[in-house]
Amino acid sequence: MRIVVTGGRGTVGRILVGQLRASGHEVVLWLRDEVPVDDLQAHRVFLSKLKPAVLYHLAIASTPTGLANEDTLVNCDWPIGLAALARELSIRFIFTSTAMVFSNDAVGPLRPDSIPDAVEGYGHQKKLAETGVRQLNRDAVIVRLGWQIGDSPGSNNMIDFVHQNLEGEGQVKASQKWLPACSFLQDTADALMGLMGRDPGLYMIDSNRGWNFFEILTALKALHNADWTVACSQDFVLDQRLIDPKMNVPPLSDHLPSLSLDQAAPIPNP
């Protein structure tokens, strides 16, 4: 199939694009310098000419370009507009949202019927985008992602966070009271590919079966045989896990052999 991807040069996008092409799909990247996010007519011309079967919308406002209200425009207005246009042009629309639609006050683990409560910033913008996409395109797929785990620094992933903290403070603090929503990039890309053939609706991708942040970083340190100083803390309390029975995402322990499913925190009944 011909597939258009926004954010195809980003953390998740690069892996997804590689997977799609390896599977034989024709992938066209949406380049913002050629098709600006604030030019609705350009969007229509671009998509009408290409006639893709699927549009993956992964892009976020990561690098400022000087547009007015750029965060809201990119994170909220753009996906809502694309959702409406995709429905009009009969293009399958897959929109990536975030676990951050839930605030730090949300009581986890979080499920598809949990009510997003973010009131500001990126999470709030994505919450509004989800609502708009759902209202304007009943055939859309909305998928919430957690923190991504790559294999090196240089992009917005957990390994990069570790290296930034090591460079700035000489250590990385990791709370035993935080169960982050997270998954390895390859598993996220595989799950996103699988959503092309799924029913419209809301999905959530998370590989954390119940491990805390300290356990995860300790396991990553062992995997990479890294000289990291991981300081155990108790200062951040949050169960951010995204529980979605519809998604069969491999657990973190598939990549991190020092983690044990038997030792993971249990999932309470709804």
Residue 64 pLDDT class (50, 70, 90 cuts): low
Average pLDDT over residues 100-127: 96
Show me where the domains of the chain are located.
2-147+181-205, 151-179+209-238+252-263
d(CA 50, CA 52): 6
* 8-36 pLDDT tens trace: 999 999 999 999 999 999 999 999 889 99
**Domains 2-147+181-205 and 151-179+209-238+252-263 belong to one CATH topology:** no
Average pLDDT over residues 57-62: 88
d(CA 81, CA 40): 8
Average pLDDT over residues 183-192: 97
Is 55 in contact with 94 (CB distance < 8 Å)? yes
Average pLDDT over residues 189-218: 97
| Nearest partner of 214 among 196, 224, 229, 226, judged by Cα | 229
Higher-confidence residue of 67 and 204: namely 204
Mean pLDDT of the chain, nearest integer: 94
d(CA 201, CA 52): 20
d(CA 34, CA 242): 36
Q: How far is CA 148 from CA 32, 137, 179, 243, in A?
A: 24, 27, 14, 16
| Nearest partner of 59 among 117, 112, 8, judged by Cα | 8
Fold entry, domain 2-147+181-205:
Rossmann fold (3.40.50)
Assigned CATH for 151-179+209-238+252-263: 3.90.25
